[in-house]
Structure 1
């Protein structure tokens, strides 16, 4: 740990965990301590650790051809595209292949700017879309933005997430090219909008010819109990961004959109040396092939089990404000700062995430068992109850 701290730029909140190996939803550190992983590599390990099909696909591709630039054709890329076309919303079948979620957002920003005579972008309060310059321009948090104001896109306006009144700003503004939104906000604290709000947002953007971009990097691929989180609201966006779990642990992202928009990117305007590389394509195909209806239905059921178990254990907690989520995208909002509770839970053998200053966030692998979910809920509840005792009524 000390060697990493000496040589790695200090840009991450480091945890006191030195991971050695993992299987399914369980991690072990170098001392053999067991953790139930409710972090999932920030939502990347959707199929858990040690997935045999992903491993076999990657090894097979490595022995065939491990790298081929996107200017060359490969069978692995063609297979991935065919698989991807089978799961994206109908009509969103033109793709840009990248490596990270932020890269997918950057491509989407370029697409909407090239596709409209207007260049104003609407984003949402509490949004998170990444930290590269374009993505950071539509990410709300001032703590990420404050040092880089001169680099950010100027023509961006933030409206309140899930606020019907603020939709009037879109109605009355004729300079908007696109609206970027998360169907369920992740880093913002697992915020779930009202169905009426999302449907009204879609109707307004359709009426005004504004491109609607759904950031599904964290909420997509079955995370909420449906393939795409926007399906919960009965809408279809014009562009979606995909990342995290799509590569099975290999860096991979996708910007998927209607050809009428995606085709506006000219040659050379967006490219990546390793975007669409064969190993990522093989791993991505192995992931998609395992995202069955049964698995995604299990995600919905397991999420209900997790939240209901937490609510049972924490029914009398004074410091829990709300337990919420969709599928295995869940949050515990506290009435106190999360850090001491968070560190105590890690010490007890569960690895969660966090949002803001008072929210515990969970993005576990879909393959987590019911027994592991129940155990994780019990351990987290014990950590919260332990802190309850230190807080005056």
Structure 2
């Protein structure tokens, strides 16, 4: 039984599969068992921000493993303390506290608890086309019906969705002073790499301030340098009350954080939010190394190589008749198509590049921050070839 057959038989069928077996990775490349090479535009859904096989992360893990591999947060440990010091240095507040978990959805759940307990209010606002996770609290804030419809009876009912980018729609929500928090992705990820209009997040901040609502920015995908700054909200001149982080924070090791102003976060009491493996020494050692490398110049590179990627895509496919728009910030980019994404995505894989997708018609690109100019050119060429093959296929079908 081969790899595909084994997974199809033994693993639940809850993932969109691309039919590809990947056996190893190096830098910004992935390889199948035959040795075929692919440019990684997925990076594990935005996780492998330092690329695959990063030497610094490997050495940090090796050192920490030899000292201590696991310590529950009921015990103090140097690795966790070091990470918290480093992480607090990149947060937007002078006085903050952080809850450490293992995944983005856990981070969102913790933020919901903090907002609920601090404000003593039951209701939340989230955005249309939002994505905040799939556990029962976080999926209640996620807008897409494909994630919600099978579990409607279990979802938290006190959530109001408003259009992303429309501050007036937010202002029109009745009884705003009864809401605990507004959850917003500064740049929507799964929704299509949607960038808000210029003053939108400032207006959201004002609405929250005027009504005693906590503003929570979900930075699980857009944070840790993905848009060229530590946090995507920094592009828009606002400071949230709470933010969530995940994906690349652990350099490939599962890790997440819920951080906020100390006055909000300290409402959590003993036992109200905990995790067996949250803040474990291995993840913390990896996380510290991630911050060190980003501070060492990699963060600045995200903006410059991101511009190279967008310019290359714009030049290569921007005027293609199947392309509606090329957009993005840093290395969080999208090509919105005029057709469904799936045949284009699969054709890009055949052409040597593995992208992601959003919705039904958008190719999403979340490459490692170490992506090279050569890989950028391969990615743009793979997309151009995929689009041309779709044109040729349509032409043949109409002949």
Contact 1:225–1:300 (CA under 8 A) maintained in structure 2: yes
Whole-Å Cα distance in 2 between the matches of residues 117 and 69 of structure 1?
A: 30
Q: Give the structure 2 partner of residue 302 of structure 1.
A: 305
Is the partner of 1:174 in helix, strand or coil? helix
Gap change, CA 1:315 and 1:261, over 3 Å in 2: closer
Contact 2:64–2:282 (CA under 8 A) maintained in structure 1: yes
Q: Give the structure 2 partner of residue 367 of structure 1.
A: 370
Q: Give the structure 1 partner of residue 155 of structure 2.
A: 152
Q: Give the structure 1 partner of residue 165 of structure 2.
A: 162
Q: Give the structure 2 partner of residue 15 of structure 1.
A: 18
Q: Give the structure 2 partner of residue 376 of structure 1.
A: 379
Cα shift at 1:348:
1.0
Is the partner of 2:143 in helix, strand or coil? coil
Contact 2:179–2:213 (CA under 8 A) maintained in structure 1: yes
Q: Give the structure 2 partner of residue 42 of structure 1.
A: 45
Whole-Å Cα distance in 1 between the matches of residues 174 and 64 of structure 2?
A: 50
Whole-Å Cα distance in 1 between the matches of residues 288 and 91 of structure 2?
A: 13
1:207 aligns with 2:210: yes
Q: 2:56 aligns with which of 29, 53, 56?
A: 53
Gap change, CA 1:92 and 1:156, over 3 Å in 2: farther
Q: Give the structure 1 partner of residue 31 of structure 2.
A: 28
Whole-Å Cα distance in 1 between the matches of residues 324 and 82 of structure 2?
A: 47
Q: How does 1:1-393 map to 2 (within 5 A)?
A: 1-91=4-94, 93-170=96-173, 173-292=176-295, 294-391=297-394
Contact 1:317–1:388 (CA under 8 A) maintained in structure 2: no
Cα shift at 1:315:
4.1
Contact 1:170–1:204 (CA under 8 A) maintained in structure 2: no
Cα shift at 1:293:
6.4
Cα deviations across residues 58-112 of structure 1 (Å, max 9, x unaligned)?
1111111101100000010010001101111123620100000000000000000
Cα shift at 1:21:
1.2
Is the partner of 1:158 in helix, strand or coil? strand
TM-score, normalised relative to structure 1: 0.98
Whole-Å Cα distance in 1 between the matches of residues 271 and 175 of structure 2?
A: 35
Structure 1 unaligned segments of length 5 or more: list them.
Answer: none
Contact 2:327–2:334 (CA under 8 A) maintained in structure 1: yes
Whole-Å Cα distance in 1 between the matches of residues 230 and 317 of structure 2?
A: 30
Contact 1:123–1:180 (CA under 8 A) maintained in structure 2: yes
Is the partner of 1:224 in helix, strand or coil? coil
Cα shift at 1:385:
2.0
Cα shift at 1:18:
1.1
Is the partner of 2:172 in helix, strand or coil? helix
Cα shift at 1:389:
2.8
Is the partner of 1:236 in helix, strand or coil? coil
Contact 2:318–2:326 (CA under 8 A) maintained in structure 1: no
Contact 2:177–2:212 (CA under 8 A) maintained in structure 1: no
Whole-Å Cα distance in 2 between the matches of residues 139 and 253 of structure 1?
A: 18
Contact 2:253–2:283 (CA under 8 A) maintained in structure 1: yes
Cα shift at 1:391:
3.7
Cα shift at 1:372:
1.1
Gap change, CA 1:195 and 1:293, over 3 Å in 2: farther
Is the partner of 1:4 in helix, strand or coil? helix
